[in-house]
Structure 1
Amino acid sequence: MKRRRSAPPKKLKGLQKLGIILFLLIAIIYATVFLGHRLFFKPPYSAKPTIPIIENTQFKLGAAAKKQPQNTKEYLTILAKQVKLYNQNLEQFWPDNPLKNYELLAQDISNKKASLISTKGQIKSLSKKEFKSYDVSSLPFDGQWAFFDSKDRKGAYVSIMPQNIDNFYYFQKYEHLGTYDQFLSYNHELFHKVTQERWAETSFTDNNREERLEDKATRRQKMLLQQQLKLAISEENHREKHIKNALATYQDYRESSPKDYKEALLYDRLEGTAYYYELLSSLFASYPEQVTTHEEALNALKLLMADDNPAYRMTGLISEGYSTNAFAGILLDLLALEKEQDPNQWKMIIEKQGDTTPLLLLEKEFSNEKLPIPSELPSEKDYEDWVEENRALSPNATTTENIFTMLYHFLY
């Protein structure tokens, strides 16, 4: 007689069922995330530039003017060149520039491979153990930034998302760089972390980073201010007139929106100067055949600011601090050169005087001048169209698309 096999214990059967259920759930989750990210909730993508070359007889600027990398290896070569050129020209960006010998640690978040780029543009692939020694947090998101100071090395960490390297929607609005934009997390953020740390203390206060977008009348005032400052940069023959118009708008803004004005001052000071530094240094790093001197960089900025370029429009209390005060910094440079004065003078004042901004220094330059009556504000429709033209250059992913992108890179 054949011996009958005893039935598996009920507990074992239950565990088997639970295991099967868990396996199926995990498979469903992986499949849902994969199909959702790849097919149904793909973020906006363009393999071709939608902004034409910005050019004149002296310059050809923007992403459309450059041959773009197609993968991480090609991008690292370009990034290394940008780092090298940037470090070769440090003294042209800020007086007594403290950002010497800061390297760049770049990591491809799709495969976790990391590379260290020296200030001379040399690329060194790092092992997992070597990367871990830098003690930086690595998350599956594009645009991650961290400061590192490890043993005898210091610098910035940035994350690279390969599918954004050739996605023009992602980076084309940064026309002063013209490539995938992780270099901007190097020059801009290190300026905050290192250079601004030596500055005099300020009494300006933080407003918890509220953009105050609901205050449309005030945002329209700052729209007009940006337009007038850009005209002052780009139209040399009418510069003084445009500056006075801008200062009239600024004074009207201060009187009509005192709370907004007060809460913007910290961002005007910190973000405005960092954005000025970003604009100037990026041109040297990315356009070495066209920009080798401070004067050439200013001429390139005149071209980029012409015709109220949609790429250089910002709205919101904090965001406007970037643009209005970077533009004011550019104008302070231009005015100093016109008067045969040192364009670094205003930068040294910013460092030593905690309660000032580039825009306040520009206002001081014209303190003895009579200003015109403030110009009429743009209409609400003009404002909405103005903002939309900027957004169209870099369409935002929806919340659902962002969630699926995050989950995809976390799981795969």
Structure 2
Amino acid sequence: MDENQLQAKKIQNRWLVVIAAVILELALGAIYAWSTFASYLKTEESWTSSETQWVFSAGTLALAIAVIFAGKLNEKFGPQKLIILSAIVTGSGYILGGILPLRPISIILTVGLIGGAGIGIAYALPISVCSKWFPDKKGLVTGLGMAGFGTGSLIWQYLLQGVFYDAVGISWTFIIYGICFIIMIMFSYFFIYNPPEGYTVAGYDPSLAKNASDTMEEVNYERKEMLKMPQFYFLFYTLMVGSGAGLMVIGISKIWSQQVLIRLEYENAAAIATFAAAVIYPLFNGLGRIVMGWFSDKIGWKLSIIIMDSVQAITFFLMAILVRSPATLYIGMAIIAFNYGANFTVFPMATGGVFGRKYLSANYGWVFFSFGIGAIFGPPLGGYFNDINLQVTAFIISGISLVIGVLLTFLIKQPKKPSSN
């Protein structure tokens, strides 16, 4: 049986690719459960807040850098080899974290850098693969896959708090998580692969672009060309502030909202703030990825960014008013989480829309690196404003940054010079 026959035999229900992508991203989304680990390390191992933050920052930066290299490797070797590598690296990072002493330097190196790099190796693969299987529903299926990453923390936090911590402690939880990640990531190996050459979807017309900034399907730009274009830097800035501002506000909203509710004499202020951060946030983080993915299929990525960042900016400006009761707090947190999560569905669509989809996995790695920059500066700035009791200032700065991003998005036009590809 030749290669073409083998590839043709591989065509099965394309929704299996999406289901595997969700399972893959559920494993990778464990990085968002770090705050629960951090709380135990602070109380049981006497870590400082700064030390716990460094683990998350190291993991996020390693993730963002790994996405860049993985995008290029995906073009050369295909997604399945990278899935194997991700399973080994991610699992090893957490297992080593459980074996070594629970010291900041060892956890930064293992769970942070190694685990974060393993997550980054596979993180963007569903974006590339699903968009190829679903050229007619790129936004929706990308959102479904990415929703696993946004909501995965619910599972891992629950297991840590409700099962593993009391039973086996933190070290063994790291080991068990590492084994689970290996199994879940390897499961996706059997379903996440590129469609055969020439694969088409009946009834799909690629010439029906959703907005004037989309390239035609046959126009593709490589990384070197993309990095010379202002469109790349507009997208880079807008994702950086969208993710960084979201992380800044989310990082301080729990403590700040609890303080406000205490002043308003809510006896269960701590429980209300915890529910907003631990349940409302991850649920709407995942929901935003699905809904805005579907929405971007309907109205295009450009208008989607303008709408979600405008709403996000208004919400930040109004946060001081919203945190006045449990209901308004939940509404505010839901909107922020929804729009924060939507970034990671809409911006892959924007990258493909502007620079073409042939090199999407490599090109989006460079756009996604802005998330790493935002994650480095956002949470520490939020912590600074929280320490000096100027939380509202953080909200206002975030809102202004997003308004600038909206203005830049209006300026993004289709590149004038087609690639020679």
Using the size of structure 2 for normalisation, the TM-score is 0.24
Query: Relative contact order (alpha carbons < 8 A, sep ≥ 6): 1 or 2 greater?
Result: 2
> Greater helix percent: which structure?
2
> Greater strand percent: which structure?
1
> Which is greater in Rg?
1
